[in-house]
Structure 1
């Protein structure tokens, strides 16, 4: 009897504890539902609606309607996957710092993964991410890029001589894509003009068009066209990697371009530290990131200068001061770029208003409790730039252009200005983009004046893109 009472006294608290825990779990699950919203049709969901909003430049309005209806967190289906949209400074911090905690992965949408490759920097985690990022930064860090300012300078001047000089009208965006592509070919790939480069430029834009697409692989879809273009681009780059490897073996400099640099990095056993697949995927990723983002930024700077004579005059004054201290034909230097402080503040304010990257995706590695909701394991998390860039509590009068906002960058709250992302996974190509932009603007404003021809409206693909390519009438200026 005493034994029975002893067992009972032991079991009763255990049963009560078990019941209490179960009740807590049930009540917790009730307190933590899925975010509000609808997933819509399988695979398609809200993808078409979001693409239409981007095309007609109503993406911000589309987001505002969602947030007014559902609040700062909601569920939907984008690019074939169940997705949770979150926004705000705290959301940005959560997105950009959670990769190191095992909560989120940088895994992109299926189209992005299929096109850019599953070994690109966005997909890698932990040691692999650090290994590949460190390798890329050997080439992309400021100390290395200082060596390539003259090479960028030459590409910009050659481009203006070929495509701007002697012309009465030009479409800016296509030409800026040509410029950024030529610099990519020279600095990142290291192959010269010729049939292979022409083939590359033919397929590369088609490849990138599929990154933001519905992953339906049928012959008539843009996704299918993009996959076929991806196969051609990868063959060209893979052949290039093999050629660079042979050149390295014959004593070529490891610092002549990004691919050669990556091939030259060795581990303790004198083996290539970065695999061929990683070089292929990351070269493609860096080329894609640098191709449309910087060309978009320069295009919108030219659009700004045409619409805002005061800003144009201030940028021109800064650039003329630098030009008048250069000998005829002398290239810009790193020191010259450090003097272009106002021009870069103008560029940052332009990116605040017209971020080249609309947003991005992460993937939940486990069930996540966020803002009183559950984000299930495997779901996609979608973040956007514009919701903090246009937040009047962070940037007063957010629709007004004001480059002085960036005079003291320390005053801007962390994770609120995010055109390059943030945290440990901030874009490694920031300095590359800065140099390319400043060199291009220096020669454009010193050599030409322009005015808009007609409409300057724009849409997103998802990069902001002027509807008519930004057609301008140009007249030459005499450089000092």
Structure 2
């Protein structure tokens, strides 16, 4: 009887306490001041709205509308099936750039992992993968290494223009710049020079980049389905290249040029073990996506604005001709020449301000924190975006005007111009991209004057800005 009463008492206490616990939990949850915004539709959230804004050439509007409606510092949305806190303005950029491994860590959408990584490796931590990837870059991107790439960039640009530009009166700039940047990446990353091999390897990449940020529906005919197939072909080709290079190195037949692939194959951990072939393939893919896709977009829009603004073109031509006239007949560009291209780089920066190759980057919250008075829960995703600063008149007066002088002297205020990110998370390939862009600019402006065939060509975003007709230009060769 006493035992029964004891059990009964425990049940009564539990019945009374459970509602109190639930109420306290709900009160605690409601006391968290989450960022203002909306979730949108179940599962898909506001993904379609963002995709439509991008397709219509105005992803900035998606951001600007919500900044105006909810908060200029931070708002909530739902994208790709995840709750997002979108950080805005230079303060938001600075906070996220400096919070890596403290509050946030690198995150890739699952759809991107499915496209890019070997299936067995999808469960690997992207934080670990990204940390490993960055560990290989310093040696490859040191100034002394970069200086050796400049003549290669220059000579390849000359070959490219001779083959793909000079025979024609009109060319589509966007696909041709993609062809150049991809061939350059093949040469510098893996020492692949054969044009047929470059083409065979490059075709699947167009499928991948077209479907990288797409609705993840793996149904035949969709961009996502084609991207998955393209990713599989790329990984298979990379494994073949890696195994062939390993054999060459074991037989001392490898190229004397120590490219990125060779560096990865030679590296050993404390136990003497080398990297797994699939790990190397995953990282090489990441390098290609980062270097080829964004660089080709940047070059395309530099040439777009040079064709659009004759005065700017004349100033760039003047600077580049002074460099060209100082060279011998067969002398290639070098580091000192690049340092003289100050106005040209200002033009490139202004082009990247108006048409940034990347729209921002994702992070995952690892520890709940408060920002601007709002609570950002653990597990949420964050997004910083160029849209909140690049065309904001507060930081760039008359923001739609193309004005390279914005970058003279000290240039824009910190964390307002962020095509390469910033702080500790600054893109490690920024200097590589700078050399690539300037070397190509030098060759084009000293050989052609450009005229846009369609001055009003529409721009769409997928996710980078893309001229819908490839930026068709008329070529007027220099006499």
Give TM-score, length-normalised by structure 1. 0.88
| Shift, 1:63, TM fit | 1.8
Aligned to 2:216: 215
CA distance in 1, matches of 2:214, 2:384: 17
1:44-91: per-residue Cα shift (whole Å, max 9, x none)?
221111111111112112222222222232222212222222211111
Alignment of 1:56-455 (within 5 A): 56-72=56-72, 73-101=74-102, 103-117=103-117, 124-125=126-127, 129-193=130-194, 195-251=196-252, 252-253=254-255, 255-272=257-274, 274-409=275-410, 412-454=412-454, 455=456
Conservation of the 8 A alpha-carbon contact between 2:209 and 2:293? no
Aligned to 2:15: none
Aligned to 2:16: none
Does 2:54 match 1:54?
yes
Q: Secondary structure at the match of 2:100?
A: helix
Q: Secondary structure at the match of 1:191?
A: coil
CA distance in 2, matches of 1:239, 1:419: 34
CA distance in 1, matches of 2:451, 2:199: 31
Q: Secondary structure at the match of 1:404?
A: helix
Conservation of the 8 A alpha-carbon contact between 2:35 and 2:376? yes
CA distance in 2, matches of 1:43, 1:215: 12
CA distance in 2, matches of 1:48, 1:164: 38
Residue 344 to residue 294, structure 1, CA distance change in 2 (3 Å): same
Conservation of the 8 A alpha-carbon contact between 1:203 and 1:233? yes
| Shift, 1:29, TM fit | 4.4
290-299 vs 31-40, which moves further = 31-40
Does 2:43 match 1:38?
no
CA distance in 2, matches of 1:133, 1:58: 32
CA distance in 2, matches of 1:130, 1:383: 20
Aligned to 1:4: none
Q: Secondary structure at the match of 2:362?
A: strand
CA distance in 2, matches of 1:469, 1:233: 24
CA distance in 2, matches of 1:123, 1:350: 35
| Shift, 1:398, TM fit | 2.3
Conservation of the 8 A alpha-carbon contact between 2:146 and 2:432? yes
Q: Secondary structure at the match of 2:136?
A: helix
Residue 213 to residue 129, structure 1, CA distance change in 2 (3 Å): closer
Q: Secondary structure at the match of 1:389?
A: coil
Aligned to 1:10: none
1:114-162: per-residue Cα shift (whole Å, max 9, x none)?
2233879x96447x65553131221122221111211111211110011
Q: Secondary structure at the match of 2:375?
A: strand
1:413-440: per-residue Cα shift (whole Å, max 9, x none)?
3222110011222111111111111110
**Structure 2 gap segments, 5+ residues each:** 1-21
Conservation of the 8 A alpha-carbon contact between 2:107 and 2:127? no
Q: Secondary structure at the match of 1:99?
A: coil
**Structure 1 gap segments, 5+ residues each:** 1-21
| Shift, 1:107, TM fit | 0.9
CA distance in 2, matches of 1:334, 1:24: 65
Conservation of the 8 A alpha-carbon contact between 1:206 and 1:229? yes
Aligned to 1:17: none
198-207 vs 259-268, which moves further = 259-268
Two-structure CA RMSD over aligned residues (Å): 2.5
